[in-house]
Structure 1
């Protein structure tokens, strides 16, 4: 068995529970989707998938979304996470596929560390430098569990909704056939312009920001 970054590339996981849930999209119309839990994931995290049946003739669309309590739940304007989650759910509802919700708060450093990083950012430090000042990596997320989840769902040939080339690279290394990369929209506001600039200029995200 081959290993990348400490994770087995062919480790098996299974989808354990499928709960039918009406998911509210941006447009206000609920879509009935399956919310799925897993066992046997590489990091033992409580990651979930929201899956909508594939549309005939279309390669399933997948959005891998890392948890952001401040943006996803409380509507923080310091990032673009909440709007990206809404966009991903809406796009998957149209095309069929899945949104994988990974419990990797703060690009993997955790919620409390992310709040500490916010304080540092208020002193004109960019988001990546703030992580390093806390003794953490620029981006500590791993996508081995995403590859495991996709295999468990039978989604090994996908289109990926992302502006992050690292997601594409890791999924392909873990054996997922990413046949197309669909860019997300730029969700900018006066409070997240510096954050988006850092993602594009320092993090390599393909965002059209000035």
Structure 2
């Protein structure tokens, strides 16, 4: 996990207008890469000019088809993506959209884990019951992408301490970790509590219904 990332380079840059269901819209520069360590089709969405010497706000967002695209209420991924795009676009920075469905286990395995969650397991225990890692994400490609973009120090928009730990081990300096909003509902409360209890996410659920 702390090995030196392979050489990577920009493949394509293209301007893309983004629009969300609540009407919020903004334009991002989508950057694709060649030479990423896992061969995945990860993309960086760059908002504003990345000025030399300035520390950008960066969000590492793992792909969630069910939440990001179909609005699943079982997680808070879609809401976090929407929030991150606005906050990063206002501050100036980068959203790395990482193809790590289901915390790295893939879409089909994630849906298998959903079935186990319906039987009473939490999101991490369900992965383990399938013989898969509770969280199999490796952020080597994120460090590569930031390096290609010329970014060595960041403010990290995340509630997940593991993201900061991994990036620091890969040579990316995390000046501070900026918490995301809390998007708790009756449908995702158990999911959010598992993230707090199992992996130390900094999510303030105090005073919210359980």
Structure 2 unaligned residues grouped into runs of 5+: none
Please name the residue that 1:42 is paired with. 37
Give the TM-score taking structure 1 as reference length. 0.93
Partners in 1 of 2:50 and 2:133 — Cα distance? Answer: 39
Report Cα offsets for 1:32-60 as digits up to 9, x if no partner: 21011100100000000100124768521
Partners in 1 of 2:127 and 2:16 — Cα distance? Answer: 36
Question: Structure 1's 160 and 25: CA in aligned 2 closer, same or farther, altered over 3 A?
Answer: farther
- Matching residue within 57, 79, 82 for 1:83: 79
Partners in 1 of 2:54 and 2:24 — Cα distance? Answer: 22
Please name the residue that 2:200 is paired with. 204
Structure 1 unaligned residues grouped into runs of 5+: none
Partners in 2 of 1:178 and 1:125 — Cα distance? Answer: 34
**TM-fit CA distance, 1:9:** 2.0
Correspondence 1:92 to 2:88: yes
**TM-fit CA distance, 1:118:** 0.4
Partners in 1 of 2:27 and 2:160 — Cα distance? Answer: 28
Please name the residue that 1:176 is paired with. 172
User: 1:95-174, aligned counterparts within 5 Å?
Assistant: 95-174=91-170
Correspondence 1:33 to 2:25: no
Partners in 1 of 2:34 and 2:130 — Cα distance? Answer: 32
Please name the residue that 2:60 is paired with. 64
Partners in 2 of 1:38 and 1:29 — Cα distance? Answer: 27
Give the TM-score taking structure 2 as reference length. 0.93
Aligned residues: 205
